[in-house]
């Protein structure tokens, strides 16, 4: 099984992947200071558990063949367990993010919103952006997981929870309900 990360250039996809794999030294993730550095799909194999795909960013400095590269992958991958759509928490949902959201909706495959850079914005702007995002999820989506994940790759906020969720949707761990006696 596999999962993929999609988001605008400089949303923090590579930084998030590096934070997620920080406990797995054999998986090497490089992060460039240049926005739009990822120009092709990068595949990270996590043992025999699953594969994570880092898509190139859309928007500023996106590769010209972005849609031709990404859309077929999203539509044809039968082993794609979940798509993670990353949104920059400091700026909120942008026009390019809405286009990516529509693309995720069209595939009718389940996807999850991940709000990155939680450490980079003031509380007022963050709350406004999160309320707007929650409203979009409730009113404009049918395949989106209802709860966005709130992440800081710098401070590792939310990383463990997202790591567990990814392992769960990729079939690596199962969550069992415990009965109360």
179 domain-assigned: no
Total domains, the chain: 1
From residue 53, give the alpha-carbon distance in Å to each of 1, 5, 125, 131: 11, 6, 30, 29
Phi and psi at residue 169, to the nearest 5°: -70, -25
Q: What is the CATH number of the domain that holds 85?
A: 3.40.50.300
Block residue for tokens 């590792």? 156
Distance CA 129, CA 137 (A): 12
Name residue, tokens 């999203």.
74
Tokens describing residue 40: 């092709």
Under the banding of pLDDT at 50, 70 and 90, the label for residue 177 is: low
Domain extent for 117: 2-29+37-160
Q: Is residue 147 part of a domain?
A: yes
- Mean pLDDT to the nearest integer, 127-156: 96
Q: What is the mean pLDDT of residues 149-168?
A: 94
In a domain, 181, yes or no: no
* Order of strands, sheet of 80-88, starting from the edge strand that comes earlier in the sequence: 42-46, 50-54, 2-7, 80-88, 111-116, 149-150
pLDDT over 80 at 67, yes or no: no
Whether the pLDDT of residue 171 is over 60: the answer is yes
Least trusted range by pLDDT, from 12-21, 59-68, 109-118: 59-68
Residue 175: inside a domain: no
Distance CA 151, CA 175 (A): 22
pLDDT (0 to 100) of residue 14 = 86
Predicted confidence at residue 133, as pLDDT, reads 96
The pLDDT of 79-105, averaged and rounded, is 93
Lowest mean pLDDT among 27-36, 95-104, 109-118: 27-36
| Structural domain contains residue 176 | no
* pLDDT value for 32: 46
Asked, for residue 172, whether it belongs to a domain, the answer is no
Show the tokens assigned to 73.
Answer: 């992958």
pLDDT tens column, 33-52: 555 445 578 888 877 778 88
According to DSSP, residue 120 is labeled G
Please report whether residue 44 resides in a domain: yes
> What is the mean predicted confidence (pLDDT) over 41-64?
78
Cα separation, 45 vs 140, whole angstroms? 33
Q: Is residue 71 part of a domain?
A: yes
pLDDT tens digits for 1-27?
899 999 998 899 989 988 998 876 665
CA distances from 26 to 44, 104, 113, 135, 152 (A): 10, 31, 27, 40, 23
| Mean pLDDT of all residues belonging to the chain | 85
Nearest Cα neighbor of 116 from 73, 57, 46, 47 is 57
Query: What's the rounded Cα separation, in Å, for the pair 166 and 181?
Result: 30
């Amino acid at each position: 099984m596999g999962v993929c990360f999609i988001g605008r250039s400089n949303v923090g996809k590579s930084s998030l992947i590096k934070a997620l794999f920080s406990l797995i030294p054999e998986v090497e993730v490089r992060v460039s200071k240049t926005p739009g550095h990822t120009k092709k799909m990068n595949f990270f194999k996590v043992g025999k558990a699953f594969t994570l795909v880092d898509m190139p960013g859309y928007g500023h400095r996106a590769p010209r063949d972005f849609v031709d590269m990404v859309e077929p992958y999203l539509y044809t991958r039968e082993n794609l367990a979940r798509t993670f759509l990353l949104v920059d928490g400091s700026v909120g949902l942008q026009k390019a993010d809405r286009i990516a959201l529509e693309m995720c909706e069209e595939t009718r495959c389940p996807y999850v919103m991940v709000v990155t850079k939680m450490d980079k914005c003031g509380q007022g702007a963050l709350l406004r952006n999160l309320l707007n995002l929650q409203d979009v999820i409730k009113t404009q989506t049918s395949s989106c997981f209802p709860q966005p994940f709130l992440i800081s790759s710098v401070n590792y906020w939310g990383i463990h929870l997202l790591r567990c969720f990814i392992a769960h949707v990729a079939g690596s761990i199962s969550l069992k309900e415990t009965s109360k006696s």
